[in-house]
Amino acid sequence: MFTIHTDPLHRIAYATDASAYREVPQGVAFPENEQDIVYLIEAAREHKTHLIPRAGGTSIAGQVVGSGIVVDISKHFKKILEINKGEHWARVQPGVVLDELNLALESYGLFFSPETSTSNRCCIGGMFGNNSCGSHSLVYGSTRHHVLEAKGVLCDGSIEVFKEYSIRELEAWFGSRFWEKEAHTLIQSIYAQLIRWALDEKTVHLIEENYPDKSLRRRSCGYAIDEVIEDLHNASKPLEDRTINLCKVLAGSEGTLAFITEIKVDLDPLPPKEKMVVCAHCDTLQKSFLGNLVALKFHPTAVELMDRNILELSKQNVEQQKNRFFVQGDPASILIIELRGKTREEIDTIADQLETALMENEEHLVYACSRVYGSEISKVWSLRKAGLGLLTGMKGDAKPIGVIEDTAVAPEKLSAYMADFAQMLENLDLSCVYHAHISTGELHLRPIINIKEAEGKRKFREVAYQTALLVKKYKGSLSGEHGDGRLRGEFIQLLYGDEVYALMQDLKHCWDPQQVFNLHKIVDTLPMDSMLRFEVGQKYAIEKDLRGKDGPSTGSGTCHTYYNWKAAFDECKVEGATGAKNQLHALMCSIEQCNGAGDCRKSNLIGGTLCPAFKVSGDETKATRARANVLREILTRGWGSEAFAQALNKDKNLLKSKELAEVLDSCLACKGCRSECPSNVDMTRLRSEILQQKYDVDSMPLRSFAVSRMAQVEQLGHLVWPIYNLFASWQFSSNIIKRVIKFTTERDIPTLSRVTMRKAVQRECRKYHDHPKGKVYLFADEFTNFQEAELGLTFAKLLLHLGYKVEIPKHVESGRAAISKGNLKLAKKFALKNVNLLKDIVSEQTPLVGIEPSCILSFRDEYPDLVPAELRPQAQQLGRNASLFDEFIMREVAAGRITSDDFKTDKVEIWLHGHCHQKALVGTEKTVQALKLLTGAKIHVIPSGCCGMAGSFGYEKEHYQTSLAIGEMVLFPTIRKAVANADNITPCIVSAPGTSCRQQILDGTGVHAVHPIEILYRWMK
């Protein structure tokens, strides 16, 4: 029997989704098979609670937030059961992720066509529940149009298959004209109700009159009674031949009618490869509504909108900055118009005509067009898809809020609807962000509201109400794809009228009389402004528990945080507050950047770094989102949270809570979230701040203390290095050390180089007198200096040979280990010392260049917020001039001082694994470019995320297996395959700039990886 988790960690992690709502559930279950679900349904009935089916948890309207038991099927219902290539269908379990299904279908030349922006983590079950669709809904429609069949469990525990049945078939089971008689089973009464409605002219008329425009391709509002009874009242067919498929109404029913365990979906052939997007730039939003109508005449496969706000936000996102390349000038909006065809010429001809129609008309609808082809197109879509995430990640308490974000009206009515909408916003004194699926009349409209304030909360309701009135006026749908949840349910009655709403209530009652499934969603919802994630006038429970005393001075007293959070979150201010209070508020804002969109739930099949702990476990409580949820809950509500209702010792300092320790413990501090999370949630930084705060009230574990002072230990050890090395490598003594500091005995402790890098480089430098290309300061980071001095010397030799003067300036260690172990008091000392020692000598002309990415990047990423505020500008300046080895080399290539002529042309295969901090902050492109200086080199970038070692994480006893498992996801198998396939003629080299990555590769595969510098040096002429 499986467990229902009722511990605070699970309850907090599942108290939210990607919506504005929060409600702590009674528990969380992870069923493994259909019988488990039947058992859960029985238990729910017995204990008078309800089940909330949940997949990826990316719903925006609070569909998976509730007080009952959350049943997460994303963990065990992940199988693709059958693919039928000939008949174009697939049978899957509901927890299969959309992108993963499409990856599996690629080799069949097929795909599941409704596509959400959340395709890399949302599941087919969730898409079915919400009737999801995406940018290409113009061509492919929504999930409802593609579900052929589903299997599920009804509230009485009966397992049913829902598919198209004729009345004849149903009568064979339930008896002639069974809908006129008393039902003997639940499923019989479900069919009977719908047939009765379909055969009753008055009901059919009522539905036709009150449902949204039939032409609207996007409708996810209320129960789709109109769709499910459509064929039943088709008078042109004999009654017994008419059909009904309950999947039509199950699609979009948001887990309120049945628990789905299998879904059979139809598939489309992969679209023609040849495509292009025309990015049409408009100088007003109104022009884009008209431009859309022009574009639709050219049969595009998609037309999407991005407004200026999104384009502006994308400038601040590390990942999206590189995807804005097609933007010309400062458009009010851009229409992304996708064209597909058999040949490039064919599409170009259409694009010519389209551009002429858009630009050369009287209204000059468009002022510029960029055409994007081939692989670059995915960058445009990536920017467009990131839009919603970018928006919700806007800094500050006022956020573009999801409240009316999903309205759809017929495209030809869009312009008039939008004019009314703009007027309404003006009356409410609100501004709005516009984007998304303009081709189908759906725009994601997000007014910027601070719902932490009473006035903001009032506007939250008012704007929803007034928009519902407008949507009714234009016969649109309040939800085009996101569903109703607890957000829009309240307005369904207004939109559809009392009688249709009563039908919907009857439908729910017929399917689920005992209210077992997802209570208070779609019908009988709670007020839309109840159970919000943020409360008006929210206080911070943590305030009294923070002890940090030597945080950065803000000029108005001592701050109680260690990082200067306010510097990055200046928008977050407490009216009238200064210093510490504002710092705490800024820290909270940084946590609240997480909006639950769930980008941290990507699996290793999808790629990227974020989030290794989730990737390897598939466990929501180990995702960055759960960390943010737990931090927010503990820091704001603390012991007052319903999740802690049973907690015995409520006087205990909140920082000592078990839940906090658990979520922080699973984080590898890889910084994947820093760039891959559209809201830039920086969990690595949050983690180290909270750890230090915790250590202030609780003692720091010996291991954290030892690791953060490792460089000092090595410095002392170096005085007696043979003895140190003997101790570190002799099994008996090294095992004692490992056991004391709780390291695994499976890995070797690094030994020390005979001569430090500093000394070795100094000696080497004396041999060179001619330095025509300028001076470079080398940063002798603590890892290279003591453990890999030879590598440091190699870099110096490379630079000296290329004509640079090399000097290692006076500096202390980077503090990287201290930062990652949460010893921020120590890290701040190192940061302060280094900034003071280097600020006056390092400049653009004389940069500081580093070998180990994580160390040198601390100058750029952490130092400015660790040093006192008055030193911040100098720290930032130093950070700008502190470069990774590859950044420096490519800078010099750009200046013409290094060329490929400096290197040999022999053939070599290089398999590159980038460091996760490097990937997050600067990317690996420059490493690749630097290696391409070897003209005979073929470079393969390994699509790995974090290697799994993450500093000391992989050495730690309890993390050792996880660390190896992370390596096994992509990195190790790729390396093994590369090495096995290598021929004996061309050298095959595995390269990794990170020291712990190299160790991990060695431990996991037995292959000695080298630093890219060593490759460049070896192939130097």
Ligand X SMILES: Cc1cc2nc3c(=O)[nH]c(=O)nc-3n(C[C@H](O)[C@H](O)[C@H](O)COP(=O)(O)OP(=O)(O)OC[C@H]3O[C@@H](n4cnc5c(N)ncnc54)[C@H](O)[C@@H]3O)c2cc1C
Please tell me whether residue 222 binds ligand X under the rule CB under 6 A. no
Please tell me whether residue 515 binds ligand X under the rule CB under 6 A. no
CB 402 within 8 A of CB 61: yes
Evaluate the CA torsion angle 131, 133, 138, 139 in order and state its sign.
Answer: negative
Please tell me whether residue 951 binds ligand X under the rule CB under 6 A. no
Which residue lies nearer to ligand X by CB, 313 or 796?
313
Cis, peptide link before residue 369, omega less than 30° from 0: no
Question: What is the rounded CA–CA span in Å between residue 319 and residue 923?
Answer: 9
Please tell me whether residue 518 binds ligand X under the rule CB under 6 A. yes
Which residue lies nearer to ligand X by CB, 151 or 637?
151
Which residue lies nearer to ligand X by CB, 132 or 787?
132
Q: Of the candidates 65, 388, 686, 922, which one interacts with ligand X according to CB under 6 A?
A: 388
* Beta strand spans in 211-332 (E): 243-245, 259-266, 268-269, 275-282, 302-307
Which residue lies nearer to ligand X by CB, 256 or 944?
256
Which of 132, 39, 41 shows the shortest CA–CA distance to 94?
Answer: 132
Please tell me whether residue 147 binds ligand X under the rule CB under 6 A. no
Please tell me whether residue 226 binds ligand X under the rule CB under 6 A. no
Q: Of the ranges 59-67, 308-316, 741-749, 842-850, which one interacts with ligand X (CB under 6 A)?
A: 59-67
Q: Of the ranges 48-56, 409-417, 449-457, 641-649, which one interacts with ligand X (CB under 6 A)?
A: 48-56
Please tell me whether residue 125 binds ligand X under the rule CB under 6 A. yes
Q: What is the 3-state secondary structure (H, E, C) of 818-875?
A: HHHCCCHHHHHHHHHHHHHHHCCCCCCCCCEEECCHHHHHHHHHCHHHHCCHHHHHHH
Which residue lies nearer to ligand X by CB, 255 or 456?
255
Residue 220 Cβ, how far from ligand X at the closest point, in Å? 7
Which of 80, 136, 74, 78 shows the shortest CA–CA distance to 104?
Answer: 80
Evaluate the CA torsion angle 261, 266, 269, 270 in order and state its sign.
Answer: negative
Please tell me whether residue 597 binds ligand X under the rule CB under 6 A. yes
CB 776 within 8 A of CB 850: no
Q: Of the candidates 113, 130, 323, 609, which one interacts with ligand X according to CB under 6 A?
A: 130
Name the token pair of 224. 């789709």
Which residue lies nearer to ligand X by CB, 260 or 950?
260
Question: What is the rounded CA–CA span in Å between residue 950 and residue 924?
Answer: 17
Please tell me whether residue 127 binds ligand X under the rule CB under 6 A. yes
Which residue lies nearer to ligand X by CB, 112 or 743?
112
Residue 571 Cβ, how far from ligand X at the closest point, in Å? 21
Question: What is the rounded CA–CA span in Å between residue 380 and residue 13?
Answer: 33
Please tell me whether residue 118 binds ligand X under the rule CB under 6 A. yes
Which residue lies nearer to ligand X by CB, 56 or 847?
56
Which residue lies nearer to ligand X by CB, 517 or 562?
517
Strand, coil or helix: what is 325? coil
743 DSSP assignment: B
Question: What is the rounded CA–CA span in Å between residue 561 and residue 755?
Answer: 39
Describe the crossing of helices 201-210 and 186-199 by its angle, rounded to 10 degrees. 80
Residue 393 Cβ, how far from ligand X at the closest point, in Å? 10
Please tell me whether residue 482 binds ligand X under the rule CB under 6 A. yes
Give the neighbor-by-neighbor strand order of the sheet with 848-850: 805-807, 775-779, 848-850, 882-884
Interaction mask 253-282, ligand X, x per CB under 6 A: -xx---xx----------------------
Please tell me whether residue 132 binds ligand X under the rule CB under 6 A. yes
Q: Of the candidates 15, 41, 44, 58, which one interacts with ligand X according to CB under 6 A?
A: 58
Q: Which residue(s) pair with 52 in the sheet? A: 70
Interaction mask 311-350, ligand X, x per CB under 6 A: ----------------------------------------
Please tell me whether residue 18 binds ligand X under the rule CB under 6 A. yes
Which residue lies nearer to ligand X by CB, 225 or 390?
390
Q: Where in 80-109 is the site for ligand X (CB under 6 A)?
A: 94
Residue 37 Cβ, how far from ligand X at the closest point, in Å? 8
Please tell me whether residue 489 binds ligand X under the rule CB under 6 A. no
Residue 185 Cβ, how far from ligand X at the closest point, in Å? 20
Which residue lies nearer to ligand X by CB, 254 or 659?
254
Q: Tell how far CA 174 is from the center of its chain.
A: 48
What are the residue ranges of helices labelled H in 47-162? 98-106, 124-130, 137-140
Q: What is the 3-state secondary structure (H, E, C) of 617-660?
A: HCCHHHCHHHHHHHHHHHHHCHHHCHHHCCCCCCCCCHHHCHHH
Which residue lies nearer to ligand X by CB, 44 or 849?
44
Name the token pair of 123. 């599941």
CA distances from 715 to 724, 786, 867, 974 (A): 11, 7, 25, 37
Please tell me whether residue 249 binds ligand X under the rule CB under 6 A. no
Q: Of the candidates 230, 262, 481, 892, which one interacts with ligand X according to CB under 6 A?
A: 481
Q: Of the candidates 105, 122, 327, 449, which one interacts with ligand X according to CB under 6 A?
A: 122
Strand, coil or helix: what is 683? helix
Interaction mask 826-865, ligand X, x per CB under 6 A: ----------------------------------------
Please tell me whether residue 126 binds ligand X under the rule CB under 6 A. yes
Please tell me whether residue 886 binds ligand X under the rule CB under 6 A. no
How many CB atoms are located within 10 Å of the residue 299 CB? 12
Please tell me whether residue 628 binds ligand X under the rule CB under 6 A. no
Please report where in the chains the tokens 């379990």 appear, as a residue: 93
Q: Of the candidates 117, 314, 439, 794, which one interacts with ligand X according to CB under 6 A?
A: 117
Strand, coil or helix: what is 62? coil
Q: Of the ranges 128-136, 495-503, 582-590, 811-819, which one interacts with ligand X (CB under 6 A)?
A: 128-136
Q: Of the candidates 12, 40, 44, 64, which one interacts with ligand X according to CB under 6 A?
A: 64
Residue 132 Cβ, how far from ligand X at the closest point, in Å? 3
Strand, coil or helix: what is 185? coil
Residue 401 Cβ, how far from ligand X at the closest point, in Å? 13
Q: Of the ranges 127-135, 287-295, 722-730, 775-783, which one interacts with ligand X (CB under 6 A)?
A: 127-135
User: CB burial class (10 A; 0-12, 13-18, 19+) of residue 47?
Assistant: exposed
Q: Of the ranges 132-140, 166-174, 323-331, 490-498, which one interacts with ligand X (CB under 6 A)?
A: 132-140
Question: What is the rounded CA–CA span in Å between residue 358 and residue 368?
Answer: 9
Interaction mask 675-704, ligand X, x per CB under 6 A: ------------------------------
Q: Of the candidates 62, 68, 134, 476, which one interacts with ligand X according to CB under 6 A?
A: 134
Q: Of the ranges 129-137, 227-235, 415-423, 570-578, which one interacts with ligand X (CB under 6 A)?
A: 129-137
Q: Of the candidates 10, 17, 383, 852, which one interacts with ligand X according to CB under 6 A?
A: 17
CB 1004 within 8 A of CB 972: yes
Which residue lies nearer to ligand X by CB, 55 or 668?
55
Q: What share of the chain is helix, strand, coil (3-state, %, to 5)?
A: 45, 15, 40
Residue 400 Cβ, how far from ligand X at the closest point, in Å? 12
In degrees rounded to 5, what are phi and psi of residue 991? -130, 140
Question: What is the rounded CA–CA span in Å between residue 590 and residue 486?
Answer: 26
The footprint of ligand X (CB under 6 A) covers 17-18, 52-60, 63-64, 73, 94, 116-118, 122-123, 125-127, 129-130, 132-134, 254-255, 259-260, 388-389, 481-482, 518, 597
